[in-house]
Structure 1
Amino acid sequence: MTIFFSWAGAIWWCVAVALLSVSLICGLLQPFVQRRRATHAETPPVSAIIPIKCLDPGFEIAQASMFAQDYPDYEILISAAEQDSPALDAARRVAGVHPARACRILHSGAKAAVSPKLNTLAAPLAEARHDFVFSKDSNMTLEPGAMTAFMRNFSEGVGLVVAVPVAVRPETIAGRIEAFLINGHARLLLTASVLGLGFGVGKAMLFRRSDLAKAGGVAIMSHMLAEDTALSMGLARLGLRTVFSHRPVTQEIGARSFREIYERQVRWSVIRRANERFSYPLEPLASPLPAALAGALAAPLAGAPAWLGFCATLFGWFCAETLFAALKGWEVSAWAPLAFLGREILSLTAWLRAWTTHDVVWGTGRFDARRGAREG
């Protein structure tokens, strides 16, 4: 029986390390590979939508980045479910600093969708002046050429362009753990992009309202908490692909609490389990902690003690991820070892929890991932 577990550990370890190696290579190659695929040269007018709710860390920096795009013709629509809030006050201040850019602030009181974000998007989607729609979350900061890069990727057969979010500027240890988790996931998304795979990632998206209408309109997204996944799936039924831009977007992290990051990771895990039924059970294969346990089981096959197999795997994985982050220009700090271990505990805990619940927290409300808002 011992030899069986040792060989099982060796197989798991080999698969996990192979996946890590492929993701490191693909993650470095993605900007070059995807840039060659980005062949759309036109720059039609765009309606840029920003749904807002809370005054997140880096809010004003993120909003100002929308006004600073070097794209030739676009309007900005800021939408909220509230009539007044600190986030709306901040949004008005930012808009006031950029009077040359057309900007409207809308109240979106829709309640029909499971997703509160989609309810906030309903009004600007209806009132946008242009066919092309670019949406971004309120905590996403764009480089000046981001919108142009998105449009370049809108080549023949594409219905949705999304971007890989990269975490920046964490201010607490909980924030650093979440940043390490987001950037670890970013490496996997970059790998998917190189392999020609696309997923709905709603942090920043470019699509056509006419395509959305052909797919069934807002109604096709209203039944799912993950409106980005529903949009990607709806467009796929029309034969339109989802692709990643060759430029990432940056997600402001700031000060986070452990409760906040746990609830957010559980929510994302529940959504992935509901929508990615094949890949979700396999997610631990991309995690270093199970790989280190597999290394401990396999170590006796090489005549080494189990503790050495565990420690060598965990340390080697950390060094590989840290070098990758440095080469990508992502944040690396003295907190990285602690953030790395914290990420593993958090992500595996959230992964396990998602098997037992559909109940998630989003902002200040509780939601059933299948039905929408809960009472109380």
Structure 2
Amino acid sequence: MIQLNRRLPATGQPPEITLIRPVCGVDPFDEMTLGSSFRLSPPAAEILFCAASESDAAVPLVRRLIAEHPRVNARLMVGEQRISGNPKLNNVARAWDRAAHDWIAMADSNLMLPPDYLATLSAAWTPGTGLVSSPAWGWQPRGMAARVEAAVLNGNQARVQLAAAALDAGFAQGKTLFFNRRILNKAGGLAVLGRELAEDVAATKAIRSLGLKVRLVPRPFAQPIGRRSWRAVWDRQLRWSRVRRAGFPALFLLEPLNGPFLPALMVLPLGILPALAVIGLWYAAEAVLALRAGWPMGPADLAASLVRDLMLPAIWVATFARPGFTWRGNDMAPARPAE
């Protein structure tokens, strides 16, 4: 176990934090989500936006937001530093090295940051912590395909991730990663996050290798969904499924157990009514969780949850067709073991 001397200030106030936000292209909600970076209380000590190229469509938006908030210490860094096969890591590598502070929060461009974002991350950093993270919950879905994606985020991924954290087995999600740079450097630095298909899987393994824990914030942060096509939802879920298969293969084999249908089949010999009761209780519990958390939940959202649970087994099977995927024009495959 590493004996940390990099504890949070005893005053209870967040430390000086560098906020890093990589951008790549422009999504419909980007002005709102990126703009939330400037409304934090307490504010970030510095905000570093990262774009791989000056020609990226997000660059004019970021420059305008910075100009509209002249009192905020924010700047745009343009250019990649090739440290891995992961384009997101290559995009943020220069910002990671040049950040003025060792406490660094990385937030995806499509994540809505509440005013207390940094305070919430800091409060979750308890003794023995090496990384604070959070799932994202699907906000403002428009249309059934988008509701299905929100149902995956809220009733499936967030549920599993929060349950794991409650069992002291928390794991990271790349939407939010809050590090102390010196701790990650002990595990090999930012480049070590490129050893897996996704940086959150690699971060979880790196922090655990140091004998430290991944902690989650009590309430996930919102990700606006908007409209989605069915193809986009399928491709995104298939990509995440392949990430999980490559990163945690043993757990991935158990994923078909994560749903109401197998328990219903197990009680089916007792009759159709007990089986239907199991399914009903499953979705009732999901509805209660969503309502208490303030997540979308109504008749259409319940229907989307059913569609999700019918779709995920098909995605699980399709995952075995190939080991990698294409993300934003980049072919990504699991790293080969060193010979």
TM-score (normalised: structure 2)? 0.90
Mark the CA change 1:132 to 1:121 in structure 2 (over 3 Å): closer, same or farther. Answer: same
Match of 1:12 in 2: none
User: Could you say which residue in structure 1 is the equivalent of 2:306?
Assistant: 341
Q: 1:358 aligns with which of 323, 327, 332?
A: 323
How far did residue 48 of structure 1 move?
A: 0.3
SS at match of 1:335: helix
CA contact (8 A) 2:242 2:319 kept: yes
8 Å Cα contact 2:83-2:93 kept in structure 1: no
SS of 1:139's equivalent in the other structure is coil
2:65 is aligned with 1:65: no
Amino acid at match of 1:136: A
Indicate whether 1:156 and 2:121 are aligned: no
Residues 167 and 258 of structure 1: CA distance in aligned 2, closer, same or farther (over 3 Å) = same
- Structure 2 residue 283 is matched with structure 1 residue 312: no
Provide the residue aligned with 1:52 in structure 2.
Answer: 23
Q: 1:114 to 1:83 in 2, by over 3 A?
A: same
1:325 corresponds to which of 279, 286, 290: 290
CA distance in 2, matches of 1:47, 1:348: 40
2:235 alignment partner in structure 1 = 263
Match of 2:5 in 1: none
SS in 2 for 1:355: helix
User: Could you say which residue in structure 2 is the equivalent of 1:193?
Assistant: 165
**Superposition map of 1:144-183 within 5 A:** 144-183=115-154
Q: Do the aligned partners of 2:121 and 2:178 also contact (CA within 8 Å) in 1?
A: yes
1:226 partnered with 2:198:
yes
Residues 364 and 309 (structure 1), Cα distance of their counterparts in 2 relative to 1, 3 Å cut: farther
Alpha-carbon distance, 1:182 to partner: 0.6
- Kindly provide the CA deviation profile for residues 235-286 of structure 1, in whole angstroms up to 9, marking residues without a partner as x: 2222222111123111111111111111111111111112222321112222
Do 1:263 and 1:360's aligned partners in 2 also have CA atoms closer than 8 Å? no
* Alpha-carbon offset, residue 62 of structure 1: 0.9
Amino acid at match of 2:333: D
Q: Matches of 1:256 and 1:364 in 2, distance apart?
A: 19
Residue 110 of structure 1 pairs with residue 81 of structure 2: yes
Aligned length: 326
Q: By how many angstroms is 1:367 displaced?
A: 2.4
- Following TM superposition, by how much is the alpha carbon of 1:344 offset from its aligned partner in structure 2, in angstroms? 1.2
Contact 2:192 2:202 in 1 (8 A): yes
Structure-2 residue corresponding to 1:368: 333
Q: Distance in 1 between matches of 2:28 and 2:279?
A: 32
Return the match for 1:275 from 244, 247, 254: 247
Is the CA contact 1:40–1:153 (under 8 Å) kept in the aligned structure 2?
no
Compute the displacement of 1:368 (Å).
Answer: 2.1
2:125 is paired with a residue of what secondary structure?
Answer: coil
- Once the two structures are TM-superposed, the CA of residue 73 in structure 1 deviates from its matched residue by 4.8
Match of 2:225, SS state, is strand
Secondary structure, in 3 states, of the residue corresponding to 2:239?
helix
In structure 1, runs of 5+ residues without a counterpart are 1-38, 372-376
How far off its partner does 1:116 sit?
1.5
Deviation at 1:40, TM superposition (A): 8.3
Match 1:97 to one of 65, 68, 72? 68
Letter in 2 for 1:266: L
Q: TM-score, normalised by structure 1?
A: 0.81
CA contact 2:130–2:183 (8 Å) conserved in 1: yes
In structure 2, how many angstroms separate the alpha carbons of the residues matched to 1:61 and 1:197?
33
Tell me if structure 1 keeps the 8 A contact 2:139–2:225. Answer: yes
Cα deviations by residue, 1:207-257 (Å, 9 ceiling, x for unpaired): 011112221112312222211221222222222221111231111111111
Tell me the alpha carbon deviations over residues 53-86 of structure 1, each in whole angstroms, 9 at most, x when there is no partner: 1312311111111111102551000001121232
Aligned amino acid, residue 149 of structure 2: E
Residue pair 1:174, 1:258 contacting (<8 A) in 2 also: yes
Aligned mates of 2:233, 2:73 — CA distance in 1: 35
Choose from 36, 42, 53 the match for 1:82.
53
- Structure 1's consecutive aligned runs of 4 or more residues displaced over 6 angstroms after TM superposition are none
- What residue in structure 1 maps to residue 4 of structure 2? none
SS, match of residue 312 in structure 1? helix
Further displaced range: 80-89 or 145-154:
80-89
Identity %: 33
Contact 2:17 2:102 in 1 (8 A): yes
- Residue 107 of structure 2 is aligned with which of 105, 121, 136? 136
1:146·1:247 contact (CA, 8 Å) conserved in 2?
A: no
Structure 2 distance, partners of 1:166, 1:323, is 15
Which of the two has higher C-alpha Rg?
1
Ranges in structure 2 where 5+ consecutive residues have no aligned partner: 1-9
CA distance in 1, matches of 2:233, 2:318: 14
1:243 counterpart residue number: 215
Separation in structure 2 between the aligned mates of residue 149 and residue 279 of structure 1, nearest angstrom: 29
